[in-house]
């Protein structure tokens, strides 16, 4: 069968969610075309109409961008079977089925896609948590790595590979889109598969690897064996991972080993510096825990790249200003990606946030076009501030403004007081980061694509 797999957006990374199922389908004898619309237009099919079209939906932005493309392809390919797969497919099942999607696949989707290609009338599980024996991702047909997000370290740019060592998560944070699908489970990608995927991307020029796992320390034994093998084979290769604050504390003895094996920075979804908000989000850490983890990371010589959701139904003017002041006090004002100062809480269908009475009280009816529950703060000034901050970040990042300058502009917008940092002319040590900012759980400004 001819199969078309489509990605509309995956944080500027070469999509693992296209390359992995492509390997399964091609090994099964199917002709597979990959279309990453974030980097290239839809391919001209010229009579080679696919019998199966799959949309990879790993995030909210990807899902919204997919809907108009889906409409176009359904009109052009009336005989094809349409499938949506990935984290946000089951979360948006109603909207996707209304748009003509016949099959929804969440969780571990490769086996289900293969089954559909073999038998278009098959009914694979809507959400599968099967322990799969993965194949090495087949990236043939995707744009080259140079067209994707790169590692920025000062003035230097390096090609960045992207792979996954695990999926799902053991934890049940209320706002997280992983939870409604995996429900506290996680699944690993076998070590040799990950290493061979990296090996092939290094051969294409990659000098850095981003591990896209929701939490690299869900399985610390698997994770550390992998990076030790990686470092042994490529001593100069660097990498970054995502780890919960609680896991950084629980596995603090592993932090020096991360540094030793080439880790440049660790992303952690801190979300808030307010303990009451952290409790409502069920994050499993406190502000004091975050500050301790930040200290441990600095002792190990590692960068911590925290992400935040500063605009929630519980945000007040003073709490937001205190958030900004705290980032200054913690020496993070120019270390945090500017978009992290502007993000609003995203409430999707199936979100555990809806279990909270105060969230239900603030949320409007589900918006079937925007694919989230809109909400408004009791103080309209904060809603306007979040919109202004998003616009400012988009504008200033396009112009190449330094992070500290953007931070100061948001500081002034928020009325946080006199600027506390003295301009002494001393150069700052630029934090290594990817050239497209990492974020999730964010309600976007209408009509605005931040990244």
Average pLDDT of the segment spanning 123-136: 96
Mean pLDDT computed over 18-32:
98
If DSSP states are collapsed to H, E and C, what string results for the chain?
A: CEEEEEECCCCCCCCHHHHHHHHHHHHCCCEEEEEECCCCCCCCCCCCCCCEEEEECCCHHHHHHHHHHHHHHHHHCCCCEEEEECCHHHHCHHHHHHCCCCEEEEECCHHHHHHHHHCCCCCCCCEECCCCCCCCCCCCCCCCHHHCCEEEECCEEEEEEEECCEEECCCCCCCCCHHHHHCCCEEECCHHHHHHHHHHHHHCCCCEEEECCCCCCCCHHHHHHHHHHHHHHCCCCEEEEECCHHHHHHCHHHHHHHHHCCEEEEEEEEECCCHHHHHHHCCCCCHHHHHHHHHHHHHCCCEEEEEECCECCCCCHHHHHHHHHHHHHCCCCCCCCHHHHCCEECCCCCCHHHHCHHHHHHECCCECCCCECCECCCCHHHHHHHHHHHHHHHHHHHCCCCHHHHHHHHHHHHCCCCCCCCCCCCCCCCCCEECCCCCCCEECCCCCCCC
Task: Out of 34-38, 47-51, 239-243, 406-410, pick the least confident.
Answer: 47-51
Lowest-pLDDT range of 271-275, 289-293, 344-348, 436-440: 436-440
Query: Mean pLDDT throughout 138-143?
Result: 97
Binning pLDDT at 50, 70 and 90, where does residue 43 land?
confident
**Which pLDDT tens digit goes with each residue over 341-397?**
999 999 999 899 999 999 999 999 999 999 999 999 999 999 999 999 999 999 998
pLDDT tier, 266 (very low <50, low <70, confident <90, very high otherwise): very high
pLDDT at position 448 is: 33
Residue 441 has pLDDT above 90, yes or no: no
- Name the band, by pLDDT with cuts 50, 70 and 90, for residue 449: very low
Chain segment 48-71, per-residue pLDDT in tens: 789 999 999 999 999 999 999 999
Percent of the chain with pLDDT over 90: 88
pLDDT band at 450 (very low <50, low <70, confident <90, very high): very low
pLDDT at residue 444 in the model: 52
Question: Minimum mean pLDDT among 158-167, 174-183, 440-449: which range?
Answer: 440-449
Q: Name the average pLDDT for the chain.
A: 93
């Amino acid at each position: 069968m001819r199969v078309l797999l489509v990605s509309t957006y995956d944080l500027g990374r070469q999509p693992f969610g296209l390359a992995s199922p492509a390997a399964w389908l091609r090994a099964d004898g199917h002709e597979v075309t990959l279309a990453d619309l974030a980097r290239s237009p839809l391919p001209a099919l010229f009579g080679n109409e696919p019998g199966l079209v799959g949309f990879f939906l790993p995030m909210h932005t990807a899902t919204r961008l997919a809907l108009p493309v889906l409409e176009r392809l359904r009109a052009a390919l009336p005989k094809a079977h349409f499938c949506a797969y990935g984290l946000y497919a089951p979360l948006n099942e109603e909207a996707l089925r209304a748009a003509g999607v016949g099959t929804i696949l969440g969780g571990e989707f490769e086996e289900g896609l293969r089954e559909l290609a073999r038998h278009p009338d098959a009914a694979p599980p809507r959400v599968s948590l099967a322990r799969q024996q993965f194949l090495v991702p087949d990236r043939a047909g995707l744009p080259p790595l140079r067209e994707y997000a790169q590692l920025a370290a000062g003035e230097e740019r390096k090609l960045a590979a992207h792979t996954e060592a695990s999926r799902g998560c053991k934890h049940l944070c209320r706002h997280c889109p992983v939870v409604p699908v995996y429900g506290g489970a996680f699944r690993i990608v076998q070590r040799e598969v990950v290493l061979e995927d990296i090996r092939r991307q290094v051969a294409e020029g990659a000098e850095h690897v981003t591990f896209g796992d929701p939490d690299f320390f869900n399985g610390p034994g698997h994770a550390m064996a992998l990076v030790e093998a990686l470092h042994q084979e490529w001593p100069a290769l660097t990498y970054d991972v995502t780890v919960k604050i609680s896991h950084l504390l629980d596995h603090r003895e592993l932090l020096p080993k991360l540094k030793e094996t080439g880790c440049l920075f660790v992303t952690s979804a801190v979300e808030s510096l307010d303990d009451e908000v952290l409790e409502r989000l069920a994050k499993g850490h406190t502000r004091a825990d975050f500050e301790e983890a930040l200290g441990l990371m600095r002792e190990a010589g590692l960068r911590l790249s925290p992400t935040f959701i500063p605009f929630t139904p519980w945000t007040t003017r003073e709490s937001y200003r205190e958030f900004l002041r705290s980032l200054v006090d913690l020496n993070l004002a120019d270390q945090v990606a500017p978009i992290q100062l502007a993000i609003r809480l995203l409430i999707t269908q199936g979100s555990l946030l809806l279990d909270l009475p105060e969230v239900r009280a603030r949320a409007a009816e589900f918006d079937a076009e925007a694919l989230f529950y809109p909400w408004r703060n009791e103080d309209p000034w904060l809603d306007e501030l979040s919109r202004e901050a998003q616009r400012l970040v988009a504008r200033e990042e396009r112009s190449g403004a330094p992070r500290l300058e953007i931070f100061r502009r948001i500081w002034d917008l928020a009325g946080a007081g006199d600027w506390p940092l003295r301009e002494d002319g001393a150069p700052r040590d630029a934090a290594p980061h990817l050239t497209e900012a990492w974020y999730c759980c964010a309600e976007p400004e209408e009509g605005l694509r931040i990244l």
